[in-house]
Amino acid sequence: DVQLQASGGGLVQAGGSLRLSCAASGFTFSDYMIGWFRQAPGKEREGVSNILISDNIPYYADSVKGRFTISSDNAKNTVNLQMNSLKPEDTAVYYCAAVDRYSAWYGSLYPAGMRYWGKGTQVTVSS
């Protein structure tokens, strides 16, 4: 079974940092694209960043460029999201998701393009 487990959320002040991790299992890690998405109360789920594991190619939403960095640890089947300079508007439940590279929608962050989803982790940024 495909499993995605997100962790690392918490409460942080504006300007602070958090590191989220997505532990993946049940599939060939290198054959997949892993993405991070978030959903704030009353808002639609939106894409934050994704990475094609085999080529180590990242993609970011404009709202997080220069502040967030996605990376993969192939030895641990984990994708990390380093979030710096956090803003109150980054407050949301963050989810990781996966899709095989042959089905992936490259250059986009549409939630509909992902196949497998993990449970979220709450990120709260106070002002």
pLDDT for 93 equals 98
pLDDT for 87 equals 98
Residue 11, pLDDT above cutoff 90: yes
pLDDT for 106 equals 86
Contact 12, 125 (CB under 8 A): yes
120 C-beta neighbours (distance < 10 Å), count: 17
| pLDDT tens track for 38-96 | 999 999 999 999 999 999 989 999 999 999 999 999 999 999 999 999 999 999 999 99
| pLDDT tens track for 84-125 | 999 999 999 999 999 999 988 888 899 999 999 999 999 999
